[in-house]
Amino acid sequence: MKTIKVKNKTNWFLTFVLGFGLIMISFIILVLLPLIAFQQDSFLISLFSYFFSTIPFITFFILFLYIWLWNTFGKTVLKFDDEKIIVIKRCKLFTPAKTYYRKDIKIGIENFKIEKTKYFTRNNIFTSSTFSIVFHQNNRIIRIIDWQSPKKSKEILKTIQ
Is residue 123 in some structural domain?
Answer: yes
Is residue 99 in some structural domain?
Answer: no
Are 113 and 67 part of one and the same domain?
A: no
pLDDT value of position 136: 92
Is residue 91 in some structural domain?
Answer: no
Is residue 65 in some structural domain?
Answer: yes
Distance (Å) of CA 147 to CA 42, 98, 124, 141, 142 = 55, 20, 10, 15, 14
Q: How many domains does the chain have?
A: 2
Is residue 135 in some structural domain?
Answer: yes
Rg of the chain over CA atoms, in angstroms? 21
> Measured at the alpha carbon of residue 150, what is the angle toward residues 155 and 89, in degrees to the nearest 5?
65
pLDDT value of position 43: 82
pLDDT value of position 72: 93
Query: What is residue 82's three-state secondary structure?
Result: coil
Strand partners, 86: 79, 99
Are 109 and 69 part of one and the same domain?
A: no
Strand partners, 85: 80, 100
Are 58 and 110 part of one and the same domain?
A: no
Are 113 and 62 part of one and the same domain?
A: no
Is residue 34 in some structural domain?
Answer: yes
Are 111 and 156 part of one and the same domain?
A: yes
pLDDT value of position 18: 96
Strand partners, 135: 107, 142
State the average pLDDT over residues 30-46. Answer: 85
Is the whole model's pTM more than 0.85, yes or no? no
Mean pLDDT of the chain: 90
Render pLDDT for 79-131 as a digit per residue (tens, 0 to 9). 999 899 999 999 888 899 999 999 999 999 988 878 788 898 887 777 778 88
Distance (Å) of CA 97 to CA 35, 42, 77, 103 = 42, 48, 9, 19
What is the extent of the structural domain holding 149?
Answer: 105-161
Is residue 126 in some structural domain?
Answer: yes
